[in-house]
Structure 1
Amino acid sequence: MKTWFLVFTCLISTQALAFQTLFIVRHAEKQDDSRDPPLSLQGKKRALDLALHLKDADVQAIFATEFQRTQNTAAPLADLLKIKTVVADKDLAKFASQLLADKSSSSALVVGHSNTVADLVKALGVPVKWQLADNEFDRLVIVTLSKPTAVVSILRY
């Protein structure tokens, strides 16, 4: 069911440049609570699952923070699609503006943190009444930017 929804979302997003689809996730499970930990075995599996879910979603750009847990979450999809992951601007408002201005691709993956996913969606101009908990690693937030309002869907993967 989730796969059909993703395919449908991507097909709609390729019809015109009037909107862009952003797939936003928190990094996968990390090995420990150090400042820049690698992914745990479960996190590596989740990163592979993410790549399998998005491999046909016409992702043409991938953004992640400078930390290895976000880079490693994006890596399987980046490798599969042969796309270089770009380090996202730390200033969420500036980064959101860049995403809104960039119409060069129909969809992009953004990998952030539990405390940045909802804030990025807000910075994109979408009202948000939720926040990811510290133990939630399986949320896939799909933001379809369109006028007059964006559409947000939250799935588990």
Structure 2
Amino acid sequence: MRSLILALACLAAPALAGPTPQSVHVVRHFDTPAGEKDPDLLPQGVARAEALARWFRGKRLCAILVSDYKRTRQTVAPLAAGRSVVVQSYDPRDTPAVVARAKASACPVLIVGHSNTVPDIVQQLGGTRPADLAHEDFGDLWTVSGGRTTRERIEP
């Protein structure tokens, strides 16, 4: 009887612990010219956006969160075009709010940020904080899942 109770407790433990954390992907908008207030992506950035859509091919994604700038929306345009996922805006000045939205999701989320927001977003998701980003730092994709962080390059 004691063995049966122990076996049932082991089976129930994952359910009692709550849902398995979902992956949150974080990327800085892709290549733009320096010094412009709300620029369009450069041709290299457009090509990288198409590569991002290819990277996500076959992967589950239920939300895309972007700040309300042309460059963030253009970064996800090819990805969103091939899916029934609505692109949602967030306030880039409120990192805790976008992190809370991502953590509340029942499935993987992509957040598109900026050089001054991506390190904080990754860290507040429970991942390893990336180094500060310079203007030229385009193409890195961080995935935070269960406190573990992976970094990949998105190349055109």
TM-score range, shorter chain: 0.7 to 0.9
Larger Rg belongs to: 2
Cα shift at 1:43: 0.8
Provide the TM-score with structure 2 as the length reference. Answer: 0.80
Query: After TM superposition, what 4+ stretches of structure 1 lie above 3 angstroms from structure 2?
Result: none
Cα shift at 1:75: 0.8
Cα shift at 1:82: 2.7
Cα shift at 1:155: 1.0
Cα distance in 2 between the residues matched to 1:86 and 1:58: 17
The equivalent residue for 1:130 is 131
Cα distance in 2 between the residues matched to 1:58 and 1:127: 23
The equivalent residue for 2:11 is none
Cα shift at 1:32: 5.0
- C-alpha contact (below 8 Å) 2:60/2:108 kept by paired residues: yes
| Aligned residues between the structures | 136
The equivalent residue for 2:35 is 33
Cα shift at 1:131: 2.3
Stretches of structure 1 that go unaligned for 5 or more consecutive residues are: 1-15
Q: Deviations over 1:67-93 (max 9, x none)?
A: 000000011100111322100233001
- C-alpha contact (below 8 Å) 2:128/2:148 kept by paired residues: no
Stretches of structure 2 that go unaligned for 5 or more consecutive residues are: 1-17
- C-alpha contact (below 8 Å) 1:28/1:43 kept by paired residues: yes
Cα shift at 1:134: 1.8
- Name the SS of the counterpart of 1:137 in structure 2: coil
State percent identity of aligned pairs: 31
Cα distance in 1 between the residues matched to 2:138 and 2:130: 18
Q: 1:92 aligns with which of 92, 95, 114?
A: 95
Cα shift at 1:103: 3.2
